[in-house]
Homo-oligomer: A and B are copies of this chain.
Amino acid sequence: MLENLKIGILGGGQLGAMLMRHAIDFGLSVSFMDNDAHAPCSRYTSSFFCGDPASFEAVLEFGKGLDVITIEKEAVNIAALRQLEKQGVKVFPSPDTIEVIQDKFTQKQFLLSHRVPVVPGEAIQGKNELYQYENKLPRCLKKRRDGYDGYGVMVLKTKEDIAAAFDAPCVVEELVEIKHEISVIVARNEQGGVACYDPVMMAFSEEKFILDYQIAPAQLDEEIVKEATALARKIAEALKLVGILAVEMFITKDGKLLVNELAPRPHNSGHHTIEASTTSQYEQLLRAILGLPLGATELHLPSLMLNILENDALNADRPGKLKGLLEIPGAHLHWYGKKGGRPGRKIGHVTVTGNTMENVMAKAETIRKILN
Contacts and interface: CB of A to CB of B under 8 A. Distances in A.
B20 A339 contact: no
Contact of A45 (B44, B287, B334): B44
A278 B301 CA distance: 11
Contacts of A335: 2-3, 25-27
A48 interface: yes
Contacts of A327: 293
A43 interface: yes
Given A24-B18, A278-B329, A2 B46 contact: no
A342 interface: no
Given A25-B334, A293-B326, A319 B44 contact: no
Identical chains bound together, number: 2
Contacts of A40: 27
A292 interface: yes
Contact of A322 (B1, B47, B319): B1
Interface in A285-328: 287, 292-293, 295-296, 298, 300-301, 318-319, 322-323, 326-327
Nearest to A297: B329
**Most B C-beta atoms less than 10 A away, residue of A30, A44, A339:** A44
B26 A17 contact: no
Interface residues of A, number: 49
A327 B294 CA distance: 7
Nearest to A19: B24
Contacts of A353: 278, 300
A323 B292 contact: yes
26 contacts: A3-B335, A3-B338, A17-B24, A20-B44, A21-B21, A21-B25, A24-B44, A27-B348, A29-B43, A29-B337, A42-B46, A43-B45, A43-B47, A44-B44, A44-B45, A45-B45, A45-B46, A46-B46, A287-B326, A292-B323, A293-B323, A293-B326, A295-B329, A296-B329, A298-B329, A300-B300
Closest 7 CB pairs of A and B: A27-B337, A3-B337, A296-B329, A27-B335, A1-B318, A293-B327, A21-B24
Given A28-B337, A44-B44, 17 more contacts: A1-B319, A2-B335, A2-B337, A3-B335, A3-B339, A17-B27, A18-B24, A20-B24, A21-B21, A21-B24, A25-B332, A29-B337, A30-B43, A43-B46, A44-B46, A296-B329, A298-B329
